[in-house]
Copies of this chain bind each other. A is one copy, B any other.
């Protein structure tokens, strides 16, 4: 009896989509206003999906309070009210696109979860733009 459970979280951050190996002109051409040198920002909404067998003793796949704590320590405390480009080591050499951000969050959560549980991340950059990983 495999069930998927979902937990929603929220944080906000500044960023700039920028490729260090390109000229300013090429960054401007490809990334447009998302490349603004002084940064812009978003309210990120995160949905964490964990799939596994239901424990007959608790009726839970995973205690959502425990999952919420992992999300807080691994994601919210690290990225909330931060500048992704300047304040985090995860994006020192990685473009903070929503795609890359979802992969980073996946990896940060994956190591904290037992192997028997599958993990998928949905990350909203805005209510109209969002991504899922793994696809």
Contact = CB atoms under 8 A, between A and B. Distances in A.
A100 B57 CA distance: 11
B10 A39 contact: no
B40 A12 contact: yes
Give the number of copies in the complex. Answer: 6
Contacts of A31: 58
Nearest to A5: B131
Q: Chain A at the B interface: mostly helix, strand, loop or mixed?
A: mixed
A113 B135 CA distance: 18
A4 interface: yes
Residue among A3, A94, A102 having the largest count of chain B Cβ atoms under 10 Å = A3
Contacts of A52: 135
A73 interface: no
A118 B132 CA distance: 13
A132 B87 CA distance: 32
A78 interface: no
A34 to B, nearest CB: 7
B100 A59 contact: yes
Interface in A1-22: 1-10, 12-15, 17, 19
